[in-house]
Chains A and B, each alone.
Chain A
């Protein structure tokens, strides 16, 4: 057998492996810094937690050719205007509740999780809550007693009672409201929000 050509030699590929890995990782690190700063709470893509004091909608944007969240004027949650600190506290309680109750092993959030129950990315805007006036009350009742407020659309598949307290339910609702304001590049597509019925 002849000498192994350079492109087929072990040492050539060893060096290539090292450079390719290091290079890719470096690019990932740079992109990570950029992404984290562009998506911190309070950025244009991920609004500040005080967005729960405002009206949120989700519509098709002709110019951008995709669905986009629309942040409107004041629309208080539970008739209260939250300060920055209070809003963050409330959303934090909600987020921790979603983790402690394992919502993500039935539902998807931002499309990630399990496929046994509806996606919650825009749950705040779902027409299932009938009207803007009834929404908060219905959500509270549903989260605290999903069994007796079940909808199931004929499937018989109910959400179980997860012993969510009223305070936790309020936190969850604030969290869902805040999450619905995140710019998710148009996912979900074709969603009809509760607002579009009302006009």
Chain B
């Protein structure tokens, strides 16, 4: 753009609008997607997916800013402080994953119920409201950042509670949107047909939304506050989200590989029994040190130590089915990401979680980079992967059900995106693990977690090197995401072969 053109844009808002419109139109012409290939439910699903990808990008951007501040503490100091960057990083993550899940459900709803979605126009409206609310919340996080120690700050700026910082007004809005979503799901199954998958999905969504309410109250007593906060965080990621991805996996295995319904549903029930049976009381592994009674050391340690079992079962299930169907499937990138999900879930949540879940160990690892190591591998491995798999399923249909199996054009892109993203997150995880060990030893065990002890650990060369390596692997991850987005926009463009049809067998 030449300089007089740009000044014209600045002085003339309608010129700016015009510019934006042409850019959007040019972009649309370039991606060349045909909305006619999608059903109404799928059309809403891809809207959720698009916002999810944008938020994923924002997540990594702010993660990089926060990671830079560990190395250059003066970077953006008192402008965009670490707390702000970190809050945007983890909130963008939670929200993009929820967007992805909601999108997945809208995607499979018509197929699973055998009918059109009831009240879809409310679903579309809810999407717009939710997205506007998310944009507003993020703007306030970045521009207003903090408030005074009053209720109105908690209502309108942020609640200051990790992962669920969204101000109270937004909490209420989120619950309202969830009710619309739940109505779409229940009414649609009711009109069409119920199935095992439908039943588990509905009950799980009710639990997921209900748990959010447990995080909406202010409490001065920090022990009680943390008690309920973990209900939301733990019972989401280690119970209801796991079951939700179990549902999504069950449906995908039927569609992608042609596994029979009876088999996936039986597995789904087994997974629900094992996951809820260990995960609900496994909640106790967060009640070791927050003031809650000693019996939680036993209950939390015991039940959370069982949590890897369902995760092993899920790997067995996915890999066995893939093998039994000779990996014959119509969407290679999606299947690759599903396999990545099965292993990522097992290692990130199962192995990394197990390593610090016994109280004797957690006394030293609690609240160190150890937790961050586990948090990264688990959230990425369990939940980013399955969403990405679905993005590939969606784009395949959006392109008109084209060929995405072996021998497709530019397949290097999805393979490299898969490789870079997984290597990047694994690299960060290892770097953080080293930092976490060092902190557990020096800050927690030797120096007793004092102010000075904290900095002895932070200043140690092995910690500082780890922070540099985390940044490097973070950049690898970021490059992987860039490639992933490019691939999602272009894959299947110009492909004329139709995907092969996979029949249940």
Contacts and interface: CB of A to CB of B under 8 A. Distances in A.
Contacts of B69: 116
Contact of A127 (B272, B277, B287, B452): B452
Contacts of A162: 146
A54 interface: no
Interface residues of A, number: 88
B450 A158 contact: no
B257 to A, nearest CB: 19
Contact of A95 (B86, B220, B445, B456): B220
A58 to B, nearest CB: 10
A153 to B, nearest CB: 4
B147 to A, nearest CB: 5
B491 interface: no
A153 B159 contact: no
Contacts of B446: 190
A141 interface: no
Contact of A191 (B293, B364, B450): B450
B9 interface: no
Contacts of B111: none
A94 B222 contact: no
Given A17-B269, A46-B291, A188 B220 contact: no
A77 interface: no
B218 A38 contact: no
Nearest to A39: B223
Interface string B107-149: 0000000000000000000000000000000000000011111
B270 to A, nearest CB: 5
A97 B364 CA distance: 29
A11 to B, nearest CB: 9
A96 B293 contact: no
B235 to A, nearest CB: 9
A10 B368 CA distance: 43
A46 B223 contact: yes
Contact of A188 (B70, B161, B223, B448): B448
Contacts of A115: 367-369, 371-372, 439
B490 interface: no
B272 A192 contact: no
Q: Which of B297, B367, B369 gathers the greatest number of chain A CB atoms within 10 Å?
A: B367
A20 B277 contact: yes
B450 A21 contact: no
Given A17-B269, A21-B272, A116-B82, A189 B291 contact: no
A39 B450 contact: no
A113 B82 CA distance: 13
Given A92-B220, A96-B218, A99-B159, A186 B451 contact: no
B73 A158 contact: yes
A151 interface: yes
Nearest to A156: B73
Interface in B438-471: 439, 444-452, 454-456, 458-459
Given A8-B266, A155-B458, A185-B288, A96 B149 contact: yes
Contacts of B291: 39, 45-46, 110, 182-184
Nearest to B221: A41
A189 B364 contact: yes
A46 B221 contact: yes
B237 interface: no
Nearest to A9: B266
Given A13-B269, A102-B87, A186-B363, A24 B289 contact: no
B78 interface: yes
A149 interface: no
B238 to A, nearest CB: 12
B149 A94 contact: yes
A160 B145 CA distance: 13
A93 B81 contact: no
B262 A189 contact: no
Contacts of A13: 266, 269-270, 273
B316 to A, nearest CB: 14
Contacts of A187: 288-289, 363, 366
Given A31-B299, A106-B82, A38 B455 contact: no
Contact of A96 (B73, B153, B456): B153
Contact of B280 (A24, A113, A160): A24
A100 interface: yes
Nearest to B458: A155
Nearest to A120: B451
A102 B452 contact: no
B495 interface: no
Contact of A182 (B223, B367, B455): B223
Given A40-B221, A156-B74, A185 B297 contact: yes
Contacts of A163: 146, 148
Contact of A45 (B87, B146, B229, B293): B293
Interface string A18-35: 001100110110011011
A100 B289 contact: no
A71 interface: no
Contacts of A147: 78
B363 A34 contact: no
A144 interface: no
Q: Which of A40, A99, A102 gathers the greatest number of chain B CB atoms within 10 Å?
A: A102
A31 to B, nearest CB: 7
Interface in B372-413: 372
B273 A16 contact: yes
A140 interface: no
The 6 residue pairs across chains A and B that have the minimum distance between CB atoms: A97-B149, A99-B160, A190-B448, A153-B455, A188-B449, A13-B269
Interface of B: 66, 69-70, 73-74, 77-78, 81-84, 86-87, 145-151, 153-154, 157-162, 165, 196, 218, 220-224, 226-227, 229, 262, 265-266, 269-270, 272-273, 276-277, 280-281, 283, 286-297, 299, 363-364, 366-369, 371-372, 439, 444-452, 454-456, 458-459
9 contacts: A24-B280, A35-B296, A39-B223, A95-B220, A99-B160, A100-B150, A111-B366, A165-B148, A171-B149
Interface of A: 8-10, 13-14, 16-17, 20-21, 24-25, 27-28, 31-32, 34-36, 38-41, 45-46, 49, 88, 91-106, 108-119, 121-123, 126-128, 147, 151-158, 160-163, 165, 168, 171, 179, 182-192
